[in-house]
Structure 1
Amino acid sequence: MKNNNDNNSSLDSRFNQTLKNVQGLLKGRSIPGKVLLTRRSDPPEEPSIRSPSFGRSLSENNAGTSDRMDMSREAEVQKPNSNPTANKLKSTTSNIETTSKEVQKPPTGARSTDSARVMKFTKELSSSTVMLERLRELAWSGVPSYMRPTVWRLVLGCTPPNSDRREGVLKRKHIEYHDSVAQFYDIPDTERSDDEINMLRQISVDCPRTVPDVTFFQQPQVQKSLERILYTWAIRHPASGYVQGINDLATPFLVVFLSEYLEGDIDSWSISDLSPDKISSIEADCYCCLSKLLDGMQDHYTFAQPGIQRLVFKLKELVRRIDEPVSRHIEEQGLEFLQFAFRWFNCLLIREVCIISSSNHYIHMPDLSTFC
């Protein structure tokens, strides 16, 4: 018994030391990698209606990262072999005011299988009360791009299943977000604490680095919208505050909800074409969905990041049980799982797999904490 306790204590000590080493190596650096919103080789879900996508490359100017953000970074990883190129995908607008406008007809050139899926989504969304469990099952394999905003709001709980209450609840959430921005963001720095000033400064540094290959995300108004979303979320979640990487998690929501109002390729989008009220509504939807997504995994971003440590341990045990030779080889090489798996769990694999596909899976889980 004493030997087992000593071994467990030694294992914990090694794990904690590795975590400190990883944090030290990444001090002052941002998380490398790229964000993909679509698979490069796979065809889109519908032939004529496609979602915007973009790639992310490693930023070379990463100065200004605070010590608090060091805990959210991973160990050294290889840079991509080639520069990512932004994919241009078309999107169509949809209206969220009524159910009949939410569910549009599928494109005329769709394959029979696509048409059947669209019909299933249309039938479900046209119900007076949406069955969320059935909708999650449908959405697990992907959601038609023009239905995605409506589906994401529903399955994340930002709008209720009852169609009669949906518009009123959505308006209330928009008002709540607008009030929060006025209370926490639209104030002078003299009314902020030192920690809040530092956090806002870090967010303002990270926003221009978010998806740098896409011109749209370099528009000052887009960066301001992202800054408001992230800062408001951080203030409302003081246990973790802002952690580097959350900015990337917000981008798919921003693109999806903007696609309701902006047509064509994402490179042709201009947020200045939208009224302030519409921009505020889009930000509110992004804020709500981001909050719901992170609710089940907030301990990923609190002090010492126990959620990520727990997942790394689970991954290590899973590899040991499924493929013991690989586990033994990793151990013999002196490689710690934390060194390569940290980024996977910190950013929900958005630099490894298609972010829209992975977001569909995360979003449509009844309880993300069971996955994380």
Structure 2
Amino acid sequence: MVNHNLTIFNEVLNGGTRHWLALRTGTMKNSANSSVNDGAEDGKKDSGSLDSRFNQTLKSVQGLLKGRSFPGKVLLTQRSDPLDKSGIHGSPGGFGRSFSTNDDKPSEQGDYPVEARLEEFQSTNNMSTNINLNKSKPLVPNMDNISRESETATTSTRATDSARVMKFKKELSAPTVILEKLRELAWSGVPPYMRATVWRLLLGYAPPNSDRREGVLRRKRLDYLDCVAQYYDIPDTERSDDEINMLRQIAVDCPRTVPDVTFFQQAAIQKSLERILYTWAIRHPASGYVQGINDLVTPFLVVFLSEYLEGSIESWSVLDLPQEKITDIEADCYWCLSKLLDGMQDHYTFAQPGIQRLVFKLKELVRRIDDPVSRHMEEQGVEFLQFAFRWFNCLLIREFPFQLVTRLWDTYLAEGDALPDFLLYISASFLLTWSDKLLMLDFQEMVMFLQHLPTQNWTDQELEMVLSRAYMWHTMFNSCPSHLAS
């Protein structure tokens, strides 16, 4: 009987991506259940109980195959155990997972064949399997623990949790900041009053060595002033026709930047945006100015201004700041924008090939994760370019309430050079938040809905759900890239 179940189990494993994803989820659920059972039993497992667990797992798999999404809510929660240096490095999950008492340490199996895993599976006393995961990410969170914690775990509470604040302070006060540890902390959110310092470090704008930091920042800020004097503060007679047209387009786009936040309509802010964007475009002729880059400056402006201005952003006025502070903030925004875009230059070159690749990959990823939604969108003639191009072009800034954007960017900057890849999974998670709704819409309704998504009342918890699903899918698919091959 056991051999028969193993054969069926192996067929499910090799039956396609949806089977595979369902199996992993079902196995984790069974793992939690078996951990409870192990504590109640005397440790003896007969073949009958093993058959029963196999049958239970297979039923879970069959049930999941009829659905379109993973059961249960997934929230990244702070881990109570210290980071194990022998474990998985580079994970946002130093603070992104919780384990039951019977969970094993991360596996070092590498490309462990399915048959070998099943043999090991049969020889163990529980249903846990060590799935081959990308070593730069932690294991998929235990579903039972997650469901119990999901009611209270939110981004804001984690970001201001005293234990996490102490860890941030410890890292930032070190003579040399260990960026990998800082990324692990920042992935789950940064305390607002530390965000400016953390972002400068994560982007490589400020050096990790504290003795050099002040001198480097002073020099880079002076370099920016020289660039403004050389490229911006000149008469139009010294500009080419293309440069004049580009400056005019920037001047038109600046008032359109986050129009629902009145702070950005202040004349001094508009002028700072214009100088930053024009200087960046002149110094990056391969792309020049592309509409959408103006949105990418706004999180930096808000975060760096928050070092000097208190209260709500709606009450801020740059007139309360001396000019030298405004100049420093403007320079920091320029250099951080440059660092961010250095990792995705082909997103903004001619024809924006980087974004087009991401749109194609998003369509394929959605098909693998939620085939009914994918088929419905295809039947209705909805093209992903009609909505996803803007998502990737503006890094989803226009899709979320602006008060959530800085939290979203904590994760962005913690991902570093891997951001374009992880952005793909965030977009898939964001889209499939409304999978049931999308199935009920025709072409016109769907296009209008996707271009004006109802996120205006979202809180940290909704954003956290999007990030958690994205992290889970990225962990799964990144270990099995062939599942995304056409």
TM-score over 0.5 (shorter chain):
yes
Match of 1:173 among 215, 220, 223: 220
Q: Are 1:360 and 2:407 an aligned pair?
A: no
Match of 1:317 among 364, 370, 373: 364
Structure with larger Rg:
2
Within 2, Cα distance between the matches of 1:263 and 1:244? 31
111 and 220 in structure 1: CA distance in 2 versus 1, 3 angstrom threshold: closer
User: Which residue of structure 2 aligns with residue 127 of structure 1?
Assistant: 174
141 and 112 in structure 1: CA distance in 2 versus 1, 3 angstrom threshold: closer
User: 2:190–2:407: 8 Å Cα contact kept in structure 1?
Assistant: no
User: 2:301–2:329: 8 Å Cα contact kept in structure 1?
Assistant: yes
Match of 1:289 among 336, 343, 358: 336
User: 1:246–1:347: 8 Å Cα contact kept in structure 2?
Assistant: yes
191 and 118 in structure 1: CA distance in 2 versus 1, 3 angstrom threshold: same
1:108-151 CA-partner distances (Å, limit 9, x unpaired): xx999711111010011010000000000000010000000000
Alignment of 1:100-111 (within 5 A): none
Report the secondary structure of 1:366's partner residue: helix
User: 2:159–2:191: 8 Å Cα contact kept in structure 1?
Assistant: no
Alignment size in residue pairs: 263
| Percent identity of paired positions between Structure 1 and Structure 2 | 80
> Cα distance, 1:184 vs. partner?
0.3
1:261-299 CA-partner distances (Å, limit 9, x unpaired): 122222322212222221111001101111111111121
Match of 2:387 among 327, 340, 364: 340
> Cα distance, 1:336 vs. partner?
1.3
Larger deviation: 292-301 or 268-277? Answer: 268-277
Alignment of 1:32-47 (within 5 A): none
Within 2, Cα distance between the matches of 1:361 and 1:263? 24
Within 1, Cα distance between the matches of 2:289 and 2:179? 31
> Cα distance, 1:325 vs. partner?
2.4
User: Which residue of structure 2 aligns with residue 202 of structure 1?
Assistant: 249
The structure 1 segments of at least 4 consecutive aligned residues displaced by more than 4 Å after TM superposition are: 110-113
1:15-70 CA-partner distances (Å, limit 9, x unpaired): xxxxxxxxxxxxxxxxxxxxxxxxxxxxxxxxxxxxxxxxxxxxxxxxxxxxxxxx
User: Which residue of structure 2 aligns with residue 306 of structure 1?
Assistant: 353
329 and 124 in structure 1: CA distance in 2 versus 1, 3 angstrom threshold: same
TM-score by length of 2: 0.52
User: Which residue of structure 1 aligns with residue 281 of structure 2?
Assistant: 234
Any gaps of 5 or more consecutive residues in structure 1? Answer: 1-109
Match of 1:326 among 370, 373, 377: 373
Within 2, Cα distance between the matches of 1:129 and 1:178? 28
TM-score by length of 1: 0.68
Q: Are 1:276 and 2:326 an aligned pair?
A: no
Within 1, Cα distance between the matches of 2:292 and 2:397? 10
User: 1:293–1:362: 8 Å Cα contact kept in structure 2?
Assistant: no
User: Which residue of structure 1 aligns with residue 194 of structure 2?
Assistant: 147
RMSD: 1.7
* Aligned residue type for 1:363: L
Alignment of 1:12-27 (within 5 A): none
* Structure with bigger RCO (C-alpha 8 Å, 6+ apart): 1
